[in-house]
Structure 1
């Protein structure tokens, strides 16, 4: 009598896991999956393989993951071109498989082998994968998954730099205004990470693409959507006032058209937008090297500006005192400019 069917299955090696994932993803090819039942079976196989990958990367709840196996799996996934397949097949996958993939993605990117992030290096050699992820914001089924994967990529300066300088970056100005609120909010989170996470990279990008970038950004600040105006104004304060962007800010605050945008936002029906606009407007006014054109605009509109500022209050008690002091200084400076 044989009891071989009681034998415990040998756990798969990282090489076998990577190969299984690759084979099951390849089987999703529409040329080979003709029938609905065949597709369902192929998707089940992918889901099973993803669960195995997740278990190897995260542990099974009882045992911690084996560090060497985790590193080896990352290496094998790159070697077998699985990273590319994971991205390209994302839209076909079921909900559970996508959830597991997003979870595993962040762990794979963090794996260092011989002082190199092997999955990051793989993406550096296949930058088109980042463009593909950005474009996926147009597919609301997978937009949030792709957004999560993109933000994990943006943690690495080389990948953030590529997205900023790629043609696909311009798409974010459209995506942040998509009618689907969840997708638009997620796109804005990614957009914000791109502009705030790596100071030096952002500063170099803004220096090289100043005109194109701020032409597009002005459209966000003057959007008919309250959410877009408020978010983009708040974000502008965050990256414009960062020390690495000091030269960008000096350039921004001598441009009449941007002063006019801030003056318009000071008149916005939303108090939150008025206050955020004030924090950028004050930099135009406080600039000791104001060009003549800026002084002329301030002098010409001084009565309306003073009325707006007198009616503007900070709100929170702790911040209110500082806000009032700053406001007083700006009022005095506008009065001085209008009298000179």
Structure 2
């Protein structure tokens, strides 16, 4: 139930509600800051109409929404280009209107006519709207609203695929390190959804953009920001070891530069980061087909590595399995260190 100052009047028809929303949003174009009262009036009208939309879509706490009206409203909003209008007007909307919009957005995207999600289909035909939402992370006033809307979009494979393949995707490597903690955290949540919600799509993307992606990802793993290092390391484990990405993981653990990053993270001042790094480091070591360069690095650094590992312990219920894995990795490093690999 909306906490708007405006109590929504009982909605008439979905067509009426759609027209009222569209007209009030378009009226914002004719107002300027100089016309303060006119602008305030226009904003009040938008807020009232959004509250009415929210009431129609989710009820008012006493009366449940009418399923047919909800579906019809989604159809009308798509047909009348209101989705495009609300996204482009986001930067000028007030807090209450943005809150109602985010609430309604999730409901609208889920409305299905036969086999088609009408609002999703609209966005598929206006994919630049997704780019607009991504870029809005640069506007801290609306960043969290846009993040919520983006994550709803990412639930749908076609929309997630577009963002992954678009030029705007690389902006997430910047947004996750923005100085505003709330915005950076929200951007990371969206980034994580993009890399974990649709395994096959992510696998195709990483296959096609392997070098570009992991070059950028290296900057996150070596960031001076503790939160960035910890989150990106944990996320790397989540998507790298997913079955669709097994070929990506096999390629990743052949590269000396990435082994060196994990070795550096094993020395991190944070125990959480050390443990997360170990779970990736162990795959480099356990690989039965380690390249010669990997074996050389392990052999040259075996004393320091063994010292680090012997002082590393797991947490709680993980202790026993962690210790078993650690012992196996220690033995493998000791074995590699005795091989005559430096002579050939």
The answer to whether the 8 A contact 2:11-2:56 is kept is: no
What's the secondary structure of 1:27's corresponding residue? helix
CA contact (8 A) 2:31 2:39 kept: no
Distance 2:266 2:16 in 1: 61
| 1:48 Cα offset (Å) | 0.6
Structure 1 residues 244 and 10: alpha-carbon distance in aligned structure 2, compared to 1, 3 A threshold: closer
* Contact 1:177/1:228 (<8 A) preserved: yes
Between the aligned partners of 2:62 and 2:269, the Cα distance in structure 1 is 56
Alignment partner of 1:106 is 2:103: no
| Cα distance in 2, alignment partners of residues 332 and 269 from structure 1 | 25
Confirm or deny: 8 A CA contact 2:222 2:229 kept in the other structure.
yes
Shift in alpha-carbon separation, 1:219–1:314, aligned structure 2, 3 A: same
Match of 1:322 in 2: 321
What's the TM-score once normalised by structure 2's chain length? 0.95
Counterpart of 2:87 in structure 1 is 87
Aligned to 2:37: 37
- How do 1:44-123 residues align onto structure 2 when only pairs under 5 Å count? 44-123=44-123
- What is the aligned residue count? 331
Alignment RMSD (CA, Å): 1.1
CA contact (8 A) 2:11 2:17 kept: no
Q: Deviations over 1:117-139 (max 9, x none)?
A: 00000000000000000000000
Is the contact between residue 54 and residue 100 of structure 1 (CA under 8 Å) also seen in structure 2?
yes
Gaps of 5+ in 2: 1-8, 340-344
**Any conservation in 1 of the 2:11–2:52 contact (CA below 8 Å)?**
no
Task: State the secondary structure of the residue aligned to 2:38.
Answer: helix
Q: Determine if contact 1:285/1:330 at 8 Å carries over to the other structure.
A: yes
Once residues 33 and 333 of structure 1 are traced to their aligned partners in structure 2, the CA distance between those partners, rounded to angstroms, is: 69
| Matched-pair contact (CA < 8 Å) for 2:309–2:326 | yes
Measured after TM superposition, the shift of residue 32 of structure 1 is 6.6
The ranges of structure 1 where at least 4 consecutive aligned residues each deviate by more than 4 angstroms after the TM superposition are: 30-34
Q: Are the equivalent residues in 2 in contact too, given 1:27–1:33 (CA < 8 A)? A: no
What is the deviation of 1:308?
0.5
Partners of 1:276 and 1:116 lie apart in 2 by 42
1:280–1:75: structure 2 CA closer, same or farther, 3 Å change rule?
Answer: same
Task: Note the residue ranges of structure 1 that are not aligned, 5 or more in a row.
Answer: 1-8
SS at match of 1:260: helix
